Amino acid sequence: MCGIVGYIGDKDINSVLMAGLWRLEYRGYDSSGVASVMDGELEVRKVKGRLMNLQEMLSEKPLSGNIGIGHTRWATHGEPSDQNAHPQVGCKNKIAVVHNGIIENYYTLKEELLKKKHFFKSNTDTEVIAHLIEENYKGNLKESVLKTISRLVGSYAIAVICTDEPDKIVIFRYGSPLIVGIGKNENLIASDIPALLDHTKDIIAMNDGELGIIKKDKVEFFNAEGEKIKKEKKKVKWGPESIEKEDFPHYMLKEIHEQPNIIRNNISLKIKGNEFNFGEDFKFSPKELAHLSHIIIQACGTSWHAGYIGKYLFEDFARIRTEIDISSEFRYRNPVMDGEPLVMAITQSGETADTLAGLREAKAKFIKILSLVNVKGSTIARESDSTIYLNAGPEIGVASTKAFTSQIFQLYLLSLYLSKLKWTLDSSEIDKKIKEIKELPKKMKKILKKENEIKEIANKFKNAKDFMLIGRGINYPTALEGALKLKEISYIHATGYPAGEMKHGPIAMISEGSPVVAIATKSSVYDKMLSNIEELKSRKAKVIVIGTENDEIIKNLGSDVFYIPECEENLSPILVSIPLQLFAYHIAVLNERDVDRPRNLAKSVTVE
Ligand code: AGP
């Protein structure tokens, strides 16, 4: 979604703001802008379209001053245009605001402000904030911001500068992420850590209902009542190098290739002999976990697919009844949460609005919350009772890949741990599975070495208008994820189905040449998958099969076959996902899509 940056210090304001915005580009946007204060005047540059347009504008007409704010906008209220881009400014050209989120009562506020003779230049909800701060301004920016936010309904992270107080940026967070970067004789703000890393690794994450006053040599924090509060700074463990593309043409491809190392790293962090160590943020006692009545997993998109795989794992290994729900449904459907359940929130970003809301729904009912999160210190991690980190490093490509396989890995380990606590698997079985896990990085590398095979298959199918992906058992959710990858980055329609459902409707779609990807690795449902493939073949579909090495039967069934190494059935989604990710990637590249920044999508969905 939208991105916020801000800077106060001695560096060139143009390059700091611009570099920060480039770092946030991956989040998705359709216009951008910056503003600074110099000699009592606001300077604003904003433009529709790519960041390059703003950069060109700034090279012709740079900002002056040493305090500024910047924004990448992803349109919600008002189409993408120069006027609707942020910063938004009040009538008197004194106050400039950048905003992430949505102001739900903006229409009422706008009516009120129009009656007070404010004139509006955009169709955004954000402009209302700028006018309201101006209306409330009586010589103290902090007070006018506090008065303003008491009128706002919705979710927002805002950064405000004012010509009368050119020594500070005032920020406020309610429902949308905002981080402060602490430098030496300079300070920064951003909606996401990558925008800060070129300057500092010391950060302070804002919580909902907190206001910050950011000066060059000082930062101060207050609650929504204006009372001073203390906040601790933390060190980010990764540096700017982790957000470079290196020699890869796209972040997505780099992230696909990082997967074996991420799993290897997680193995050494989390498996100690035959014991599991989920890290210091995993605070549940074995006793608490052994007494769980059931698990409810809620998540969105790819994380929901990982959660679906989790359901198979928890039920198979630990014999714990597990529900899986999409967060936007879970949060509104009044779910039954009696007994001693554990609610799990699975999320790469840790900031997804619906997943956060689902977590809060459960928390309000005093349910235990465990989150699986990639971004350290994110809101969902902070609001959970326990967190298991994915340790996947920053994921920049909008299409999630490495976070997905790491989520499956954590779920696999957790299900083994629960099976140990509940005595549902004996120790020799667990040891055997640990051995299998340790083989994963090698097997993943082997698949990646065969990328060209996938590229060739992608080349054959690059003009397809429709794909169906089918799987059974634990690889049914993998098929869903493969279809989502295709849709997201190639814009080609793709549907995932449990193969057993074909006869109940979807097979009507199949005609000569219809492309179907079938996951038919060696498993408990292998024979069933063979029958499904036969049915498709007899209707002249073109079946691309993901099979297990040395399977001669499959060779004669599929029009194309991609082999993965043999592995334990419940671990196979990690291996199967790789060719599916590569297939979607190459189809998208062959269709000249913007792989890392697919249209209409944002990396983290911080509004409903
Ligand atoms: C993944 O490729 C998607 N971009 C999207 O479905 C994503 O998984 C979803 O928005 C959830 O994000 P989260 O994991 O950060 O909560």
| pLDDT, the chain, mean | 95
For ligand 1, say whether the CB of 605 is within 6 Å of any of its atoms. Answer: yes
Residues marked as catalytic: 2, 603
Top-level class of domain 448-598 = alpha beta
- Give residue 46's identity as a one-letter amino acid code: K
For ligand 1, say whether the CB of 303 is within 6 Å of any of its atoms. Answer: yes
| Per-residue pLDDT tens over the stretch 364-417 | 999 999 999 999 888 999 999 999 999 999 999 999 999 999 999 999 999 999
* Residue 59: both structure tokens together: 């090279």
Whole-angstrom Cα distance, residue 16 to residue 174?
26
For ligand 1, say whether the CB of 301 is within 6 Å of any of its atoms. Answer: yes
Kindly report the protein residue whose alpha carbon is nearest to atom 4 of ligand 1: 399
349 CA: nearest ligand 1 atom:
15
**Nearest-5° Cα angle at 240, 234 to 244:** 145
448-598 has the same fold as 245-438 = yes
Over pLDDT 70: what percentage of the chain?
Answer: 100
In the reported structure, the alpha carbon of residue 605 is separated from the centroid of ligand 1 by a whole-number distance in angstroms of 8
Q: Is the dihedral of CA 275, 281, 284, 289 positive or negative?
A: negative
For ligand 1, say whether the CB of 28 is within 6 Å of any of its atoms. Answer: no
Check pLDDT > 80 for residue 240.
no
What's 206's DSSP letter? Answer: P
| Per-residue pLDDT tens over the stretch 131-177 | 999 999 999 999 999 999 999 999 899 999 999 999 999 999 998 88
Check pLDDT > 70 for residue 20.
yes
Residue 577's nearest CA partner among 359, 262, 318, 327 is 262
What's the whole-model pTM score?
A: 0.84
> What are the beta bridge partners of residue 35?
44, 69
Fold type of domain 3-241: Glutamine Phosphoribosylpyrophosphate, subunit 1, domain 1 (3.60.20)
488 CA: nearest ligand 1 atom:
2
Q: Specify whether the CB–CB gap between 507 and 539 falls below 8 A.
A: yes
In the reported structure, the alpha carbon of residue 199 is separated from the centroid of ligand 1 by a whole-number distance in angstroms of 28
Give the pLDDT confidence score for residue 324 in this predicted structure.
98
Whole-angstrom Cα distance, residue 167 to residue 516?
61
Kindly report the protein residue whose alpha carbon is nearest to atom 6 of ligand 1: 301
For ligand 1, say whether the CB of 87 is within 6 Å of any of its atoms. Answer: no
Whole-angstrom Cα distance, residue 181 to residue 206?
11
For ligand 1, say whether the CB of 302 is within 6 Å of any of its atoms. Answer: yes
Check pLDDT > 90 for residue 349.
yes
Q: Specify whether the CB–CB gap between 113 and 128 falls below 8 A.
A: yes
Site to substitute for ligand 1 among 192, 348, 380, most atoms within 8 A of C-beta: 348
Q: Which residue has the tokens 């992608």?
A: 458
Give the pLDDT confidence score for residue 1 in this predicted structure.
67
* Residue 150: both structure tokens together: 């008491």
The predicted model gives 510-533 an average pLDDT of 97
For ligand 1, say whether the CB of 14 is within 6 Å of any of its atoms. Answer: no
Residue 248's nearest CA partner among 240, 238, 256 is 256
604 CA: nearest ligand 1 atom:
15
Other C-beta atoms lying within 10 Å of the C-beta of residue 413: 22
Check pLDDT > 90 for residue 491.
yes
Whole-angstrom Cα distance, residue 367 to residue 342?
7
Whole-angstrom Cα distance, residue 152 to residue 434?
52
**Nearest-5° Cα angle at 362, 414 to 311:** 35
Q: Who's near 326: CB < 8 A, 6+ residues apart?
A: 298, 299, 300, 304, 354
| Per-residue pLDDT tens over the stretch 47-76 | 999 899 999 999 999 999 999 999 999 888
Fold type of domain 245-438: Rossmann fold (3.40.50)
Q: Specify whether the CB–CB gap between 433 and 334 falls below 8 A.
A: no
Q: Which residue has the higher pLDDT, 246 or 250?
A: 250
Domain-by-domain residue ranges, the chain? Answer: 3-241, 245-438, 448-598
Q: Who's near 592: CB < 8 A, 6+ residues apart?
A: none
Give the pLDDT confidence score for residue 127 in this predicted structure.
96
Give the pLDDT confidence score for residue 179 in this predicted structure.
95
Check pLDDT > 80 for residue 473.
yes
603 CA: nearest ligand 1 atom:
4
Q: Mean pLDDT check: name the lowest of 77-81, 181-185, 253-257.
A: 77-81
Give the pLDDT confidence score for residue 243 in this predicted structure.
75
In the reported structure, the alpha carbon of residue 64 is separated from the centroid of ligand 1 by a whole-number distance in angstroms of 38
